[in-house]
Structure 1
Amino acid sequence: MEQHLTYIMPPEWEKHERTLISWPVKDSMVYPEDWEAVCKGYADLILAIAEFEPITVLVNKEDHDAAAAYVGQDENVTLLEVSHDDAWLRDNGPTFVRDEAGKLAGVNWRFNAWGEKYFPWDLDDAVAPAVLRHLGIKQLDAPLVLEGGSIHVDGEGTLITTEECLLNPNRNPDLSKEDIEAYLRHYLGIEKVIWLKRGVAGDETDGHVDNIACFAAPGKLLLQVTDDPEDENFEITQENLRILDETKDAKGRQIEVIAVQQPPKITWNDTRLTLSYINFYFVNGGIILPVFGNTAKGTDERAIKLLQEQFPERRIRTIDGLAIIKEGGNVHCTTQQMPAMEE
């Protein structure tokens, strides 16, 4: 394999052509009795994104009318019929990359439902090709099981991920760490992989990085932490802090780490919900931030203040982070950015 293609994955904060998202599928829900509440949660998110940029909503044919009733009146929202099993487009959709001339292509990773946790996944594995065909964008087929939520890039050659996810034997059991790094360099044009050990406790995606860390800018990283030694995330975040303290990025810079205090712990049916302020999403001129209503602890307010300080030119648009979290994910997990097309 050559070192990499001529494509580079742009960072999420660059200008978007549009956002892509999938409408929820009742048959795949953990709590199908919450169907209407989840649809309302998705609708609120879709309309929040539409305040900033166009958004295309992938819908199963049988759900078209229901989705249209929720979001179809907004001129920035387009419904597109693409069959899918589940609604986490960050993970089964294409990863957009750009060549030296500014032309887009889309990486079609293999998808196996987070290590074969949920059946079936054949429709989800076909979503990326369907989207790229519709958009008329070149498809790059990668022989690697990978979900978009497991990676984040700085746009200057550095990618961050977790060993818990990418090295998990339920993804690519026949590939070594070096093999996986080679594929990431080849398809995303990156030069350096930063390997954190683990994501947040209880994350059923096996430690997706988009719940614990993301780049705020080249050389600057947001990391969700806790100061409570009794919390199971304490050891995880302390370990990740040590790794980052000893790691430089692709340009040789020491990474500036900005600590984001985690939301208070919430459990549902004896299971810890994967609450994360890091699971926000960049949009044109703004950030869509999940908040969790914990006014007593004040963590929502601190997260809003911190992000506004880091991104003074962006509007922080909050959204109810509890609306869909019982289904296993949040704002970033549902969305996929399409970078701006060449002029």
Structure 2
Amino acid sequence: MEIEGTPALHGYHMPAEWEPHSQCWMGWPERPDNWRDHAGPAQRVFAEVASAISKFEPVTVCASAAQWANARSLLPQHIRVVEMSMDDSWFRDTGPTFVVIKPTPSSAAPVQKIVGIDWNFNSWGGYDDGCYNDWSLDLLVAKKILEIERVPRFPQSMILEGGSIHVDGEGTCLTTEECLLNKNRNPHLTKEQIEAELKSYLGVKKVIWLPRGLFVLLNGNAKGWVKATRGFWKTKGVWRAVNREGNLKKLCSLREVALELGKVLVQGIRSFRAFMGHTLMEWDTRLSNIMVRWSHGCLWKATLLKSFRTFPFTSVLWRGMERESDFGKIYGDDDTNGHIDNMCCFAKPGVVLLSWTDDELDPQYERSVEAFSVLSNATDARGRKLQIIKLHVPGPLYMTDEEASGILQDDNAKLRVAGTRLAASYVNFYIANGRIIAPVFGDQKWDDEAVRVLSLAFPNHEVVGIKGAREIALAGGNIHCITQQQPAIA
């Protein structure tokens, strides 16, 4: 059943994620062009996540007809498995956003206590920038879940993913400009119009906009280089199309010069590294970050650095080249364009957890400091200053050759290549009824620190670390991204 108007108009609001749940919804991964080794390792991790959540609240896992029997065999019997077609398993982004109402004693007629918002979806960027070319099945996921639960539906034409918003349940929403204002989402809407839609559908009173999300570098993607510099080349009249393989059909003279200079420089560095052996990994990473800062604000330097992304052998050296320059935005988290759920979330009203790094040479440092400044000067919907808890990121972590080789590389989905910096963040956790299901990545120092910080932030919750969370990060997200809570109603 569809409801006319907007949720806020009817008195609905999105509750905080720590409020009681009736169940958790998850999808089941299978596409081989996003999950390595035909999704086998990821399926085992999904089963571990579902099992951990199911000890504190019911879980429903949706799997395709081809995968239903496999999912059923890997999951405990008390977890419900239903057949549902989908393009991929990111239910945070494709599932419904549930909103609730607290009926007043004076209500003249029975009121539906819970309804769902069915946002529009375009695979995180559409045909040019999205993660896969066909998302027609994902467009139906939210509607199917609401049909199964017999929950009324508010359709929304605005493109929005659940991972791009966080709320405190008391009128405040967190999001990022990098994602919601991206031209590959809703180019026809202004910031003010998008904020008005968030207020009308989530029932919030105030939106806090962080500039950017988590830093991630997609290595070796020439198409990504061209996409990032499109605005500059177009204004100079030298933009040329890129074919499906990511090769330039024609190069402008400035880029040709940069490529030639790059070949000489990279060959020299390769020779030096070969002579010194593989002990220079840390040196490579830090040098790349220094080069990023060297290039900032200078077009020809930035062009030179970005040109190196066309060379497959620069997977280690040029990991840190993604940042802003004078020719426009060069995205960090290239899958979601800076979802808030990897960057910052509420721990309770007035308290936020922020992804952080102490390494000033890490490009993430600038993003974290930038966000800290915004949050420090912000108040929530009730006028409270925010307490900011820093949650240090792991690594940095990168996709290995072995991991990349297990992923099918075709024209139907975004390439996953060795050397890509993973979107690894401890902020990307799920709050179950009395339990925090958090990713851990094998970085012992920061894994332990994350568990400690989360335990202090949620003293009434047990913190459970999922050791296989790296498998989810390889595909572009993590535990919060693959889960969708359904609030409990009185």
Q: TM-score, normalised by structure 2?
A: 0.67
Question: What does residue 59 of structure 1 align with?
Answer: 63
Code of the residue aligned with 1:80 in structure 2: it is V
Q: 1:3 to 1:90 in 2, by over 3 A?
A: closer
Q: 2:465 aligns with which of 318, 324, 340?
A: 318
Code of the residue aligned with 1:299 in structure 2: it is W
Between the aligned partners of 1:133 and 1:234, the Cα distance in structure 2 is 44
> What is the percent sequence identity of the aligned residues?
43
Cα deviation, 1:147-176, whole Å, max 9, x if unaligned, reads 000000000000000000000010001000
Greater helix share, structure number? 2
Greater strand share, structure number? 1
Question: What does residue 26 of structure 1 align with?
Answer: 31
Question: What does residue 440 of structure 2 align with?
Answer: 291
Code of the residue aligned with 2:387 in structure 1: it is E
Cα pair 2:23 2:485 within 8 Å, conserved: yes
Q: 2:77 aligns with which of 67, 74, 93?
A: 74
Code of the residue aligned with 1:207 in structure 2: it is G
Aligned 1:77-226 pairs, distance under 5 A: 77-101=79-103, 103-116=113-126, 117=130, 118-202=132-216, 203=333, 204-226=335-357
Code of the residue aligned with 1:113 in structure 2: it is S
Q: 1:243 to 1:309 in 2, by over 3 A?
A: same
Between the aligned partners of 1:125 and 1:291, the Cα distance in structure 2 is 31
Aligned 1:228-247 pairs, distance under 5 A: 228-247=359-378
318-327 vs 61-70, which moves further: 318-327
Q: 1:231 to 1:34 in 2, by over 3 A?
A: farther
Cα pair 2:35 2:42 within 8 Å, conserved: no
How much has 1:74 moved relative to structure 2?
2.9
Between the aligned partners of 1:305 and 1:189, the Cα distance in structure 2 is 33
Cα pair 2:343 2:354 within 8 Å, conserved: yes
SS in 2 for 1:105: strand
How much has 1:38 moved relative to structure 2?
1.2
Cα pair 2:394 2:425 within 8 Å, conserved: yes
Unaligned runs of 5+ in 1: none
Between the aligned partners of 2:462 and 2:6, the Cα distance in structure 1 is 41
How many residues align? The count is: 337
How much has 1:133 moved relative to structure 2?
0.7
Cα pair 1:92 1:128 within 8 Å, conserved: yes
Between the aligned partners of 1:157 and 1:96, the Cα distance in structure 2 is 15
Cα pair 2:423 2:477 within 8 Å, conserved: yes
How much has 1:100 moved relative to structure 2?
2.5
Between the aligned partners of 1:186 and 1:264, the Cα distance in structure 2 is 39
How much has 1:313 moved relative to structure 2?
1.2
Cα pair 1:47 1:74 within 8 Å, conserved: no
Code of the residue aligned with 1:197 in structure 2: it is P
How much has 1:62 moved relative to structure 2?
1.3
Code of the residue aligned with 2:488 in structure 1: it is A
1:275 aligns with 2:433: no
Unaligned runs of 5+ in 2: 104-111, 217-332, 400-417
Q: 1:9 aligns with which of 10, 14, 28?
A: 14
1:47 aligns with 2:57: no
Cα pair 2:120 2:159 within 8 Å, conserved: yes
Question: Computing the radius of gyration over CA atoms, which structure comes out larger, 1 or 2?
Answer: 2
Code of the residue aligned with 1:141 in structure 2: it is P
Question: What does residue 449 of structure 2 align with?
Answer: 302
Cα deviation, 1:74-123, whole Å, max 9, x if unaligned, reads 31x10111211100000000000002227100000001000121111010
Between the aligned partners of 2:6 and 2:59, the Cα distance in structure 1 is 35
Code of the residue aligned with 1:17 in structure 2: it is S
Cα pair 2:356 2:364 within 8 Å, conserved: yes
SS in 2 for 1:206: coil
Cα pair 2:91 2:483 within 8 Å, conserved: yes
Q: TM-score, normalised by structure 1?
A: 0.96
Between the aligned partners of 1:133 and 1:31, the Cα distance in structure 2 is 29
Cα deviation, 1:238-279, whole Å, max 9, x if unaligned, reads 111111111111111111111111111011111100100000
